[in-house]
């Protein structure tokens, strides 16, 4: 028996322990601490203990995982983990990921996994179809929205500058300029910095009082840049901004891009999959006019990390950027099967598309639409709860599922203390937000497990903290609890 294989008994034990692990975890989610009481001693031990010369075996591994790893994890799937934009993994995903690891396909060239290439194409084509992209569209499953935007801007550079592959941006040509709203995600800055566009050439366009990109400001910036001898190259619009869920006016931005000959990229990492909701369908209609779109199945398709996707309206732009023929691979063309190394930065790639495809197969598209509608309903409900509280106020409209609000008259420090209290006592994990210089709290309801009761609990608790704040004290003392949310202790 090769030393790195499991024998039959070990396989039986691993299967039994893994099934028990999956099952216990799923059952325990609502009772788990949202954020762990970090055990520094255990973490230091994990950091400094040398790997054993003689392995601890399957049972030993599961023991360490249950005793040391699991208690120090954050329960992102908890119904009251409402920070960032965090979709909890769907139920079939752990099994699909285990299958992907078992068959271990290399999705670089089709010979590394012919069916994997077809599954990835089917996922990409389905996503592209949601946005109204046609036959010429292409795309690739990525590690997330930031990576999709990075690859999108790389694609844009190759389309804009035919000599880009050879000469990069090391030319005497005018600097290229990228436009995104002040509310756009900083992955755009990061991509611009990595690709050599330079942060100095990223214009942050002001927003209106709905936090949507202002067209007049965009046009004025483009004019000013042209007048200064720069080359406007790309607008990144955001249908669903990370802070407030604001949907930039895609159709009119697309008109500007058409007039000005600019690439239009949509950072739809958060908002894009709301296209599945009939209520929001119209808001996404103009997406088909974008040159590229970044979406994030690890958000609203509830795939476990990592799963993003880049969609490109004309896939020849993508291959122009990424197709190389390194001498180490010989790849034949086959119209059925795609070599994904030609569509993105990676060569060796895992079979991420399987978990997306498996969930769509297992639950069906309608289940995702319902889950997404459920989060939209809950966000409206939370907004109503906040409006009904005299000491709380909404900071922004709630077009999607991000709810930004503040404790009236509270400072940044007060809000930070409220967050720490909510987290410390196990009520909820929210994040801080700053809008127009105003500080507050942000809850993003992107979990199909969250219920109205969870939101009742959170808003009531924040209102309590706010009343304590108005009285100049604290309404509750904090007790770190293993049993999240069930031990609010009135003073
Ligand atoms: C609008 C937007 N863009 C980009 C990102 C980054 O996505 P990822 O974390 O998948 O890289 C996020 C993350 O929340 C986002 O909301």
pTM: 0.95
From 87, 143, 146, 445, give the residue whose CB has the most ligand 1 atoms within 8 Å, as the site to mutate: 146
The yes-or-no verdict on residue 487 having pLDDT over 90 is: no
- Residues touching ligand 1 (Cβ under 6 Å) are 84-85, 144-146, 185, 187, 238, 241-242, 267, 269-270, 296, 308
Buried b (16+ CB within 10 A) or exposed e, 160-189: bbeebeeeeeeeeeeebbbbbbebbbebbb
Residue 424 Cα distances to 35, 421, 452, 478, angstroms: 8, 5, 22, 6
Q: Cα angle at 49 between 44 and 55, to 5 degrees? A: 135
What pLDDT is stored for residue 482 in this prediction?
Answer: 36
* CA 318 – ligand 1 centroid, Å: 21
Structure tokens at 156: 């844009």
Relative to the CA of 148, which ligand 1 atom is closest? 11
Q: Which atom of ligand 1 is nearest to the CA of 187?
A: 4
pLDDT, tens digit, 9 for 90 and up, residues 87-97:
999 999 999 99
Ligand 1, from 82, 144, 145, 237: best to mutate by most atoms within 8 Å of Cβ?
A: 145
Helix (H) or strand (E) holding 27: helix 8-28
Query: For a pocket test of ligand 1, which of 82, 87, 144, 245 has the largest count of ligand atoms closer than 8 A to its C-beta?
Result: 144
- In this prediction, residue 1 carries a pLDDT of 56
The answer to whether the beta carbons of residues 382 and 456 sit under 8 Å apart is: no
Identify the pLDDT of residue 473: 58
Residue 143 Cα: closest atom of ligand 1: 10
Taking the C-alpha atoms of residue 277 and residue 279, their distance in angstroms, rounded to an integer, is 5
Would the pLDDT of 486 be above 60? Answer: no
Q: What confidence score (pLDDT) does residue 474 get?
A: 52
> 334-354: per-residue pLDDT in tens?
889 999 999 999 999 999 999
pLDDT at 86: 96
How confident is the model at residue 484, as a pLDDT?
A: 36
Mean pLDDT of 216-239: 98
Which pLDDT band holds residue 489 (cuts at 50, 70, 90)? very low
Instruction: Calculate how far, in angstroms, residue 369's C-alpha sits from the geometric centre of ligand 1.
Output: 20
Look-up of token digits 């795609």: 338
Distance 269 CA to ligand 1 centre (A): 5
Q: What is the pLDDT of residues 100-117, one digit of tens each?
A: 999 999 999 999 999 999
pLDDT at site 333: 77
Please tell me the predicted confidence (pLDDT) of residue 430.
98
Q: Is the pLDDT of residue 485 over 50?
A: no
Average pLDDT over residues 423-451: 97
Q: How far is the CA of 145 from the centre of ligand 1 (A)?
A: 5
């Amino acid at each position: 028996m090769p030393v790195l294989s499991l024998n039959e008994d070990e396989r039986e034990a691993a299967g039994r322990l893994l099934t028990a692990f999956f099952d216990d975890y799923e059952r325990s989610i609502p009772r788990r601490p949202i954020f762990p009481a970090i055990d520094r001693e255990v973490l230091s031990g994990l950091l400094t203990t040398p790997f054993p010369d003689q392995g601890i075996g399957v049972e030993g591994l599961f023991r360490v995982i249950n005793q040391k790893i699991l208690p120090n994890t954050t329960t992102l799937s908890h119904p009251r983990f409402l920070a960032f934009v965090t979709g909890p993994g769907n139920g079939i995903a752990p099994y699909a990921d285990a299958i992907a690891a078992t068959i271990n396909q290399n999705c670089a060239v089709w010979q590394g996994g012919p069916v994997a290439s077809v599954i990835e194409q089917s996922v990409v084509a389905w996503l592209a179809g949601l946005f109204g992209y046609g036959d010429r569209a292409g795309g690739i499953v990525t590690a997330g929205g930031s990576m999709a935007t990075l690859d999108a801007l790389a694609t844009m550079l190759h389309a804009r500058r035919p000599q880009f592959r050879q000469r990069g941006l090391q030319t005497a040509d005018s600097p290229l300029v990228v436009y995104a709203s002040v509310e756009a995600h900083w992955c755009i800055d990061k991509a611009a910095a990595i690709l050599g566009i330079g942060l100095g050439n990223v214009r942050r366009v002001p927003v209106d009082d709905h936090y949507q990109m202002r067209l007049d400001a965009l046009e004025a910036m483009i004019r000013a840049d042209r007048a200064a001898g720069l080359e406007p190259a790309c607008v990144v619009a955001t249908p669903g901004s990370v802070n407030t869920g604001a949907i930039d006016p895609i159709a009119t931005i697309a008109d500007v891009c058409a007039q000005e000959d600019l690439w239009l990229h949509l950072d739809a990492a958060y908002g894009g999959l709301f296209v599945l909701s009939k209520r929001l369908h119209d808001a996404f209609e103009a997406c088909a006019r974008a040159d590229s779109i970044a979406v994030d199945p690890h958000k609203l398709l509830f795939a476990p990390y990592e799963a993003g996707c880049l969609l490109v309206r004309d896939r020849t732009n993508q291959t122009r950027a990424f197709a190389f023929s390194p001498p180490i691979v010989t790849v034949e063309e086959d119209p059925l099967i795609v070599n994904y190394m030609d569509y993105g930065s990676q060569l060796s790639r895992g079979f991420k598309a399987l978990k997306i495809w498996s969930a769509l197969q297992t639950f069906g598209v309608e289940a995702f639409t319902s889950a997404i509608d459920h989060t939209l309903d809950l966000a409206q409900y939370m907004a109503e709860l906040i409006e009904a509280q005299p000491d709380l106020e909404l900071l922004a409209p709630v077009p999607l599922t991000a709810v930004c609000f503040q404790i009236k008259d509270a400072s940044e420090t007060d809000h930070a203390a409220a967050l720490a209290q909510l987290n410390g006592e196990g009520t909820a994990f929210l994040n801080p937000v700053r809008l127009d210089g105003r500080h507050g709290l942000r809850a993003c309801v992107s979990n199909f497990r969250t219920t109205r009761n969870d939101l009742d609990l959170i808003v009531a608790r924040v209102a309590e903290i706010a009343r304590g704040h108005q009285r100049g004290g604290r309404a509750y003392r904090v007790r770190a609890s293993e049993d999240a949310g069930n031990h609010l202790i009135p003073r």
